[in-house]
Amino acid sequence: MAAPGPPAGPHPTSPPPTGGARPGGRGVLQRMDKGRIRRIVAVGSGKGGVGKSSVTALLAAELRRRGRTVGILDADITGPSIPKLLGLTGPLTDRGEGIEPAATASGIPVVSSQFMVEDEQTPVIWRGPLVTRLITQFFGGVNWGALDYLLLDMPPGTSDVPLTVFQTIPIDGMVFVLTPQDLAALIVKKAMNMARDLHVPLLGVVENMAYLDCPHCHTRIAAFGPSRVGSVAEQYGIPVLARLPIAPPVSELADAGRLGEYAAPEIAALADAFERAVADVTQGTPTVL
């Protein structure tokens, strides 16, 4: 890894940092080649456990099925989920020309801190500065190749990692995931406000765990309460990209590391809405930060 240097990068129009030193040395950021990645989209929520990683993996797999080239940057350094969901293991390799990502059978390149520890139960115990350094390296130091979409699976919270991502990676927009709980709506709004403050376009919201159809009597159960995604989307003037149910097959496939195999009409609809939203937001704006 390059030694820390002064803030640098290809984005002279970046908004000013809101606090702290700007992470990432010149060497790391100079490797970055956004030219071969068409669209960079963060998937986040502020809150943990709402299904950011599942939505990211399901969306990436669906986009791949329709012929797009898609990569996943697992930005949840201290709580990585993507490798488990997609059945990927490390280690990452670097033959001196940048990090080679792992890849799914369908050809989705993935980087994750999970690939850097000995076994999947080893915690990544790092303080913020190390975490932010790794994020910039995962973006600029990886041989991503040509991609239609790079999806960033964001960690919960509004601290170091989202700050670093927003300040140093030229993302085109952000998708927000919430669940029907009032608390989830509250926390996602914080994340949306943070993104807006940092000039990141809000692409839309996905309601996850929206309902559960009883497998026995087929009644629809509002397990976590009534839907709030409509009012959140309206408040911010952005589209609802999908309402995804609690689906036991999703849990089973996720547990088996085969979540990418889950295809369903609601996932296809999510991919449609996602591509529309990205096109809408990026129209005429080749690089937005």
Interacting residues toward its own copies by CB under 8 A: 18-20, 46-50, 53, 77-79, 81, 84-85, 120-131, 155-160, 163, 179-183, 186-187, 189-191, 193-194, 197, 212, 214-217, 219, 221-225, 246, 248, 251-252, 254-255
Residue 180 CA, chain-centre distance (Å), reads 20
Instruction: For the CB of residue 156, give the shortest distance to its own copies in the complex, in Å.
Output: 4
163: left (phi over 0), alpha (psi -120 to 50) or beta: alpha
Instruction: For the CB of residue 2, give the shortest distance to its own copies in the complex, in Å.
Output: 20
Widest Cα–Cα separation across the chain: 62
Q: What are phi and psi of 233, to 5 degrees?
A: -60, -40
Q: Is the peptide bond before 91 cis (omega within 30 degrees of 0)?
A: yes
Compare residues 36 and 220 and give the one whose CB is closer to its own copies.
Answer: 220
Compare residues 18 and 93 and give the one whose CB is closer to its own copies.
Answer: 18
Contacts (Cβ under 8 Å, ≥6 apart) of 43: 52, 55, 56, 59, 151, 152, 153, 154, 174, 175, 177
Instruction: For the CB of residue 168, give the shortest distance to its own copies in the complex, in Å.
Output: 14
Q: If you write DSSP's letter for every residue of 152-175 in order, what string do you get?
A: EEPPSSSSHHHHHHHHHS---EEE
Compare residues 69 and 179 and give the one whose CB is closer to its own copies.
Answer: 179
Token digits of residue 123: 């915690």
**Considering only CA atoms, which of 152, 192, 179, 162 is closest in space to residue 57?**
152
Instruction: For the CB of residue 79, give the shortest distance to its own copies in the complex, in Å.
Output: 5
Compare residues 147 and 192 and give the one whose CB is closer to its own copies.
Answer: 192
Instruction: For the CB of residue 93, give the shortest distance to its own copies in the complex, in Å.
Output: 24
Instruction: For the CB of residue 15, give the shortest distance to its own copies in the complex, in Å.
Output: 13
Compare residues 103 and 223 and give the one whose CB is closer to its own copies.
Answer: 223
Give the integer Cα–Cα distance in Å for 105 and 87. 10
Contacts (Cβ under 8 Å, ≥6 apart) of 265: none
Q: Angle at the Cα of 117 (from 112 to 122), degrees rounded to 5?
A: 110
Compare residues 120 and 234 and give the one whose CB is closer to its own copies.
Answer: 120
Instruction: For the CB of residue 144, give the shortest distance to its own copies in the complex, in Å.
Output: 25
Compare residues 77 and 281 and give the one whose CB is closer to its own copies.
Answer: 77
Give the integer Cα–Cα distance in Å for 209 and 215. 15
Instruction: For the CB of residue 153, give the shortest distance to its own copies in the complex, in Å.
Output: 13
Token digits of residue 155: 């960690």
Compare residues 198 and 241 and give the one whose CB is closer to its own copies.
Answer: 198
